[in-house]
């Protein structure tokens, strides 16, 4: 058969076509096409998947794109008309040109838009073949035939074909007659195409729905914007030949043209950047040298096992020619170090001793016996994957921008993230298109969401019946079918969270680039999987809140000056002592609020049972509370074995070396790989394939194949029956959700560091935590209360001293930052705290009571002021002459002399000055006044409010002039405080202050709301959280508190877990499903709860199994936080 389809569009044309590239390929293969071309609109996002699928199906993939062109390059208003020109790629040069054209189009336009002028094609058409069609007739500005003349001039006569399509439209047939005449006139060959928008006619409804979504109208109002018929499907070659029976030359031209298209995506010309090595060195020799230096530094002593591992890795790196890649990553890590940005490699890179030696990762894979094959395998033939964790926010952005600068705007880009339609989004869009009412769409979205994750045997109609919808109703039936079809279709290109691609030379000639939504970001049109498939290497630069916290903590500790001239020794992550007993004591007590990875309710319930005593225990702790081990029922066996309640046994003697460290229970992905290798004779690459197959939904078939291989392999080793089933369950359950050991180890390091700082430098740690919210598991209010229970003192927000961020005051207490003022704009807050504006000469308050920093003596008679030049009587420190410009005091008790800090200078003298100099809005000033941030201007909260209302409302000169005379008492006002009259308003009560704190900052540094009710609660037999561990297990108890978390995990069979906080600590509550059902509103909506139930104590984990739940009345809900709910 002569016909080859040269014009299909996939769903990567984003709402302009309905089939995935794989579906198109599958259909083409079924119809017997030897080759097929994919031309998506303004992009090649679907090309890698199309290429891969076509090769797998034995088809020759042909690539091209539909370019949106504009008739005028500088269109005036209302004159911009666009048309699309299909082009096919015939050579590698053509591919480069297409990528450049698409990049040019996309990089200068907002996301999702863009068009090229026809003049811009000049010079970029080599290797491209144009197939102009009906649009030639509508190009009015170029006159009859003018546009074709232009295209022929640009592409060359040999590279231009006039495209004919037949979709059984009258108008189209008219146009085809015109096109034939044009082609004859310009001696350009005709080519027939299908103009395919969907693989089969069954997908036409979905195509219509996508059109409706694109046009933002429901189907019934879409009119002629919808397809006129279902003819844009991929037709069999014979049918196409019949359709164009009157134009056989157009059919034959398809094969001739296809034969000319010799481009293949197998080699896109991508080259990883070369690292500039010193003269006389090659990349690998240089890598060897710096690895050697690094290894000697890291391994002390550099023992044989480590040396052998490094040598083995370097040999493989050399063999796979990956030295440049390691050097580039090393370079990025070096940049971070130079810029004082904390960085740590994670993921499988932590399995590499070379990465450890180069300082890319912080975990010693040799000591931890980590599996190198998980990182790099000759068999897999893939690029390694190095993920770098960076502090989230500005610092990560600096690193990303550094990469952009280093490799040029067209030399580096982020990988895309293909956003696909999933349960809820698909339900909403289909619902809107079918014009279902909003409530119905919401209900359906909910059902579909559940359906997505439910048992496949569960029928859709049953699910619909559960929410009272008839599955046999036509519209609901349409909805269900369309929803199913829309699943996983691409919706738009997003930006991957951290994957960066760099290229030697021009990346935009390898893959089209386009702007991301975020300013200053450029993304490639492929996601990370596609990049990997096309041999393009990425480096993940991931933002991690805890990295920012750790860095800020270290900075705060190192920059802290106690005011006594004694500076603490500088600290760094590397200088943290290993196996600090305080840290493990804290972990065993589950005192882990704010600690990385082990602060969740489930982690806190496990810690006292696991009782970590060394670093590896922490690695296990990080990995064990994951869906994989939980679903795979590994948690209890491990804990029981650890506690000695259960014997350590192995399903097979071969597994003992692999599972020995985890007491016979597989907990890590590496163990899964090794198990597969040992018991089923898998190679390293096969085992990794098994993990990957289980990681992706679309590879279910592959997973079954591999599971079959696994069972066959086990059978050969004599493992069958229950033991085989258990192993398969273990492998399949946490292959998907389990942690790799290296990853857990990297995280455990951060967990250890955060726990260390919490234990030893709580003020700095909590300050950093508060400055990096939102992150972690708990609300800032909970963090503040936890810090207070650890002896950290807090100072309230004060416009005279607070910075935008929270700070540590000289006395070691935390000063809340202006960032916690709700509704205060960041720029306004920074203006308040801006040093250049803080030049007011106003002073406020004293520097605090006189007290000797050495002996603590505060008896005024023993402390004397010392002035004038002369030798200092310092008992410690530098000694030498006294600074005559400073005030000094001398303690007669211990003979210590110290410099007295000058009186603190305020930034503003009055509310008026604050408003005038900072331009803070009224609503912002009101909040500042309410929370007491203006108190240091000589007010209480109410009088500050009183002043604010006047200060933000200029009364006018005339009124101001007459004001003092009108005041009762005729007091005299100086210009600075003429308005500082006494407020007639009553002071705030304690509870009003509490409410104001919570509503204005979301937290309070004052007493916990429960403090005010404690007496009454005690009378009612309500135990504070701190007393619960002392109560006998099994006893019925009452407790009460503010709800800080509500959880209803999918794995908990309907049980709900609450965490209540009172002034003494937190209490864990377990709510049975029936109690939750009967008291749902109280449990979900009350901010304060009283719970009555049976106390449980399991290995020191205290919880109350609730029997009665009631709202704690008379506590204003506004004096509470929004709990973190996880349903």
Partner 1 sequence: MFAALVAPSIPAAAIIDVARAFTPRFEQVGPLVLLDAGGLSRLFGSPQELGTHLSEALAKHGTGGTAPRVAIAATQTAAALLALGRPGLTVIAPGQEAKALVPLSISVLDRYEKLKKLRAGDNRHLEILTKWGIRTLGAFAAVAGPEVFERLGDHGLQWQALARGVDARPLVPWVDEVPFEAALELEWPIEGLEPLSFLLARLFEPLSERLEQADRGATVIHTSLRLTTKRVHARTLPLPSPMRDPKTLRTLVLLDLETHPPDAPIDTVRVFIEPTPGRVTQWTLLERAQPAPEQVSTLIARLGALMGDKHVGSPRLQDTWKPGAFAMDEFRVVSEEFRVKDGALAPEVLTVHSGLATVNSALRRFRFPIPTRVQVQEGRPIRVATDRHGCSSGAIVQSAGPWRTSGEWWQEGRAWDRDEWDVAMADGTIYRLVVERGVGQWFLEGVVD
Q: Which residues bind partner 1 (CB under 8 A)?
A: 167-170, 173-174, 204-205, 208, 219-220, 223-224, 226, 228-231, 434, 474-475, 478, 926, 930, 942, 945-946, 949-950, 953, 955, 959, 963, 966, 968, 981, 984-988, 992
> Is residue 398 classed exposed, middle or buried when 0-12, 13-18 and 19+ CB atoms within 10 A define those classes?
middle
**What DSSP string describes 576-617?**
SPTT-HHHHHHHHTT--TT-TTS-SHHHHHHHHHH---SHHH
CB of 971 to partner 1, least distance (A): 13
- Residue closer to partner 1 by CB (options 731, 931) is 931
β-bridge mates for residue 1065, sequence order: 1062
Alpha-carbon distance of 49 to 29, in angstroms, equals 15
Alpha-carbon distance of 908 to 800, in angstroms, equals 7
Tokens of 1105: 């199994």
CB of 882 to partner 1, least distance (A): 51
CB of 177 to partner 1, least distance (A): 8
- Residue closer to partner 1 by CB (options 15, 583) is 15
- Residue closer to partner 1 by CB (options 382, 481) is 481
- Residue closer to partner 1 by CB (options 167, 380) is 167
**DSSP E strands, 54-165:** 60-70, 82-89, 116-117, 128-130, 162-164
- Residue closer to partner 1 by CB (options 219, 539) is 219
Residue with tokens 């197998």: 266
End-to-end Cα separation, the chain, in angstroms: 58
Q: Which residues contact 912 (CB under 8 A, 6 or more apart)?
A: 947, 951, 979
- Residue closer to partner 1 by CB (options 648, 926) is 926
- Residue closer to partner 1 by CB (options 427, 573) is 427
- Residue closer to partner 1 by CB (options 224, 1127) is 224
- Residue closer to partner 1 by CB (options 211, 603) is 211
CB of 3 to partner 1, least distance (A): 19
CB of 804 to partner 1, least distance (A): 25
H helix or E strand, kind and range, residue 400: helix 394-407
- Residue closer to partner 1 by CB (options 654, 926) is 926
Alpha-carbon distance of 635 to 815, in angstroms, equals 42
Alpha-carbon distance of 202 to 179, in angstroms, equals 31
CB of 190 to partner 1, least distance (A): 18
CB of 911 to partner 1, least distance (A): 12
- Residue closer to partner 1 by CB (options 170, 1032) is 170
User: Coil, strand or helix: which one is 551?
Assistant: helix
- Whether 1028 and 1039 have beta carbons less than 8 Å apart is answered as yes
> Is residue 394 classed exposed, middle or buried when 0-12, 13-18 and 19+ CB atoms within 10 A define those classes?
exposed
CB of 13 to partner 1, least distance (A): 22
CB of 979 to partner 1, least distance (A): 9
Residue with tokens 């009258």: 170
CB of 437 to partner 1, least distance (A): 15
H helix or E strand, kind and range, residue 755: helix 741-760
Give, in order, the Cα–Cα distances in Å from 406 to each of 289, 290, 398, 519, 991.
24, 22, 12, 18, 57
Alpha-carbon distance of 665 to 454, in angstroms, equals 28
Tokens of 689: 């394939």
Q: How many helices (H) and strands (E) does the chain have?
A: 43, 28
CB of 932 to partner 1, least distance (A): 13
- Residue closer to partner 1 by CB (options 501, 996) is 996
CB of 988 to partner 1, least distance (A): 7
Residue with tokens 């190192």: 558
β-bridge mates for residue 116, sequence order: 69
- Whether 531 and 265 have beta carbons less than 8 Å apart is answered as no
Length of the chain: 1127
Q: Strand 412-420 and strand 490-502: pairing? A: antiparallel
- Residue closer to partner 1 by CB (options 885, 984) is 984
- Residue closer to partner 1 by CB (options 78, 986) is 986
CB of 919 to partner 1, least distance (A): 19
User: Coil, strand or helix: which one is 942?
Assistant: helix
Alpha-carbon distance of 675 to 657, in angstroms, equals 10
- Residue closer to partner 1 by CB (options 379, 977) is 977
- The number of angstroms, rounded, from the C-alpha of 971 to the middle of its chain's C-alpha atoms is 60
CB of 465 to partner 1, least distance (A): 20
CB of 209 to partner 1, least distance (A): 9
Alpha-carbon distance of 1077 to 1089, in angstroms, equals 16
CB of 795 to partner 1, least distance (A): 24
- Mark 715-750 as b/e (b = at least 16 C-beta within 10 Å): eeeebeeebbeebeebbbbbbbbbbbbbbbbbbbbb
Residue with tokens 């720029």: 827
- Residue closer to partner 1 by CB (options 355, 928) is 928
CB of 10 to partner 1, least distance (A): 22
Alpha-carbon distance of 548 to 770, in angstroms, equals 11
CB of 968 to partner 1, least distance (A): 7
- Residue closer to partner 1 by CB (options 177, 304) is 177
Angle between helices 581-588 and 601-610 (to 10 degrees): 110
Report which DSSP code applies to 86. Answer: E
- Residue closer to partner 1 by CB (options 476, 618) is 476
Alpha-carbon distance of 983 to 949, in angstroms, equals 12
Rg, C-alpha atoms of the chain = 35
Alpha-carbon distance of 681 to 672, in angstroms, equals 13
């Amino acid at each position: 058969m002569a016909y080859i389809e040269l014009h299909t569009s996939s769903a990567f044309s984003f709402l302009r076509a309905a089939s995935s590239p794989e579906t198109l390929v599958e259909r083409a293969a079924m119809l017997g096409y030897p080759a097929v071309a994919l031309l998506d609109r303004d992009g090649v996002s679907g090309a890698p998947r199309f290429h891969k699928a076509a090769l797998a199906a034995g088809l020759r993939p042909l690539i091209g794109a539909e370019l949106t062109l504009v008739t005028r390059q500088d269109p005036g208003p209302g004159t911009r008309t666009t048309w699309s020109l299909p082009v096919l790629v015939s050579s590698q040069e053509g591919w480069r040109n297409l990528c450049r054209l698409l990049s040019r189009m996309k990089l200068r336009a907002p996301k999702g838009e863009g068009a090229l002028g026809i003049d811009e094609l000049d010079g970029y058409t080599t290797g491209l073949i144009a197939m102009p069609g009906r649009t030639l007739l509508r190009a009015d500005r170029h006159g009859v035939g003018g546009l074709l003349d232009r295209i022929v001039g640009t592409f060359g006569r040999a590279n231009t074909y006039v495209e004919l399509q037949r979709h059984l439209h009258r108008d189209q047939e008219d146009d085809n007659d015109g096109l034939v005449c044009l082609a004859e006139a310009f001696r350009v060959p005709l080519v027939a195409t299908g103009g395919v928008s969907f693989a089969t006619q069954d997908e036409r409804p979905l195509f219509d729905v996508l059109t409706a979504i694109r046009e933002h109208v429901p189907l019934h109002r879409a009119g002629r914007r919808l397809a006129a018929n279902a003819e844009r499907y991929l037709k069999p070659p014979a049918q196409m030949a019949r359709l164009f029976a009157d134009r056989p030359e157009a059919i034959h031209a398809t094969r001739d043209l296809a034969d000319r298209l010799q481009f293949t995506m197998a080699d896109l010309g991508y080259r990883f950047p070369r690292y500039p090595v010193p003269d006389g060195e090659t990349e690998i020799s240089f890598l060897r040298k710096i690895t050697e230096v690094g290894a000697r530094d890291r391994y002390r002593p550099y023992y044989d096992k480590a040396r052998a591992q490094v040598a083995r890795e370097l040999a493989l790196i050399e063999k796979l020619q990956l030295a440049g890649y390691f050097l580039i990553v090393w370079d990025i890590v070096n940049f971070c170090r130079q810029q004082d940005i904390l960085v740590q490699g994670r993921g499988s890179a932590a399995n590499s001793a070379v990465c450890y030696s180069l300082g890319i990762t912080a975990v010693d894979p040799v000591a931890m016996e980590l599996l190198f094959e998980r990182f790099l395998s000759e068999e897999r033939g893939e690029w390694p994957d190095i993920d770098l964790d960076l502090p989230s926010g500005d610092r990560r952005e600096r690193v990303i921008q550094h990469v952009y600068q280093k490799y040029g705007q067209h030399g580096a880009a982020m990988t895309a993230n293909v956003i696909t339609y999933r349960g809820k989004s698909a339900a909403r869009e289909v619902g809107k298109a079918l014009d279902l009412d909003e409530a119905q769409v919401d209900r359906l979205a909910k059902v579909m969401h559940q359906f997505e994750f439910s048992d496949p045997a569960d029928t859709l109609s049953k699910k619909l019946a559960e929410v009272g919808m008839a599955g046999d109703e036509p519209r609901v039936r349409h909805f269900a079918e369309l929803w199913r079809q829309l699943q996983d279709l691409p919706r738009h290109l997003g930006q991957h969270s951290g994957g960066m691609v760099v290229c030697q030379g021009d990346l935009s000639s390898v893959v089209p680039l386009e702007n991301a939504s975020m300013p200053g970001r450029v993304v490639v049109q492929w996601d990370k999987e596609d990049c990997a498939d096309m041999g393009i290497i990425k480096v993940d630069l991931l933002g991690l809140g805890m990295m920012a916290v750790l860095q800020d903590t270290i900075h705060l500790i190192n920059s802290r000056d106690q005011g006594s001239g004694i500076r603490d020794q500088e600290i760094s992550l590397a200088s943290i002592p290993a196996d600090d007993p305080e840290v493990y004591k804290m972990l065993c007590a589950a005192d882990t609020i704010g600690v990385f990875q082990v602060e969740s309710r489930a982690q806190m319930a496990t810690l006292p049972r696991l009782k970590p005593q060394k670093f590896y225990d922490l690695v296990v702790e990080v990995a064990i509370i994951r869906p994989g081990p939980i679903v795979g029922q590994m948690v209890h066996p491990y804990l029981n074995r650890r506690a000695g309640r259960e014997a350590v046994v192995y399903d097979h003697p071969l597994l003992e070396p692999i599972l020995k460290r985890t007491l016979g229970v597989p907990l890590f992905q590496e163990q899964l790989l090794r198990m597969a290798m040992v018991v089923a004779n898998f190679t390293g690459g096969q085992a990794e394939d098994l993990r990957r197959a289980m990681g992706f939904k679309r590879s279910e078939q592959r997973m079954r194949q591999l599971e079959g291989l696994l069972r066959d392999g086990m059978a050969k080793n004599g493992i069958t029956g229950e033991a085989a089933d258990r192993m398969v369950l273990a492998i399949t359950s946490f292959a998907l959700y389990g942690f790799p050991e290296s990853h857990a180890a990297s995280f455990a390091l951060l967990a250890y560091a955060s726990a260390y700082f919490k234990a030893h430098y709580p003020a700095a740690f909590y300050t950093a935590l508060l400055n990096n919210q939102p992150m972690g598991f708990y609300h800032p209010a909970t963090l503040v209360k936890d810090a207070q229970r650890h002896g950290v003192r807090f100072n309230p927000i004060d416009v005279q001293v607070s910075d935008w961020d929270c700070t540590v005051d000289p006395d070691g207490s935390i000063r809340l930052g202006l960032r916690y003022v709700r509704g205060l704009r960041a720029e306004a807050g920074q203006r308040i705290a801006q040093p250049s504006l803080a030049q007011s000469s106003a002073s406020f308050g004293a520097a605090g009571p006189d007290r000797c920093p050495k002996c603590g003596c505060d008896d005024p008679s023993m402390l004397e002021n010392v002035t004038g030049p002369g030798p200092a009587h310092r008992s410690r420190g530098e000694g030498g002459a006294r600074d005559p410009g400073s005030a000094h005091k001398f303690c007669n008790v211990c003979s210590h002399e110290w410099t007295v800090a000058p009186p603190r200078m305020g930034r503003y003298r009055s509310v008026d000055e604050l408003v005038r100099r900072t331009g803070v809005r009224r609503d912002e000033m009101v909040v500042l006044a309410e929370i007491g941030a203006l108190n240091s201007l000589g007010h209480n909260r109410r009088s500050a409010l009183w002043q604010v209302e006047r200060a933000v409302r200029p009364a006018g000169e005339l009124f101001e002039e007459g004001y003092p005379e009108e005041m009762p008492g005729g007091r005299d006002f100086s210009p600075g405080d003429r308005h500082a009259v006494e407020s007639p308003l009553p002071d705030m009560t304690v509870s009003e202050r509490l409410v104001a704190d919570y509503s204005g900052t979301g937290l309070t540094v004052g007493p916990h709301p429960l403090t005010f009710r404690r007496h009454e609660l005690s009378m009612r037999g309500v135990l504070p959280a701190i007393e619960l561990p002392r109560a006998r297990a099994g006893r019925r108890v009452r407790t009460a508190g503010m709800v800080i978390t509500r959880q209803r995990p999918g794995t908990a069979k309907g049980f709900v877990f609450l965490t209540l906080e009172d002034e003494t600590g937190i209490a864990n509550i377990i709510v049975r499903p029936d109690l939750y059902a009967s008291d749902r509103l109280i449990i979900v909506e009350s901010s304060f709860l009283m719970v009555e139930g049976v106390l449980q104590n399991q290995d020191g984990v205290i919880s109350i199994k609730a029997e009665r739940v009631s709202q704690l009345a008379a506590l204003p809900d506004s004096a509470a936080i929004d709990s973190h709910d996880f349903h």
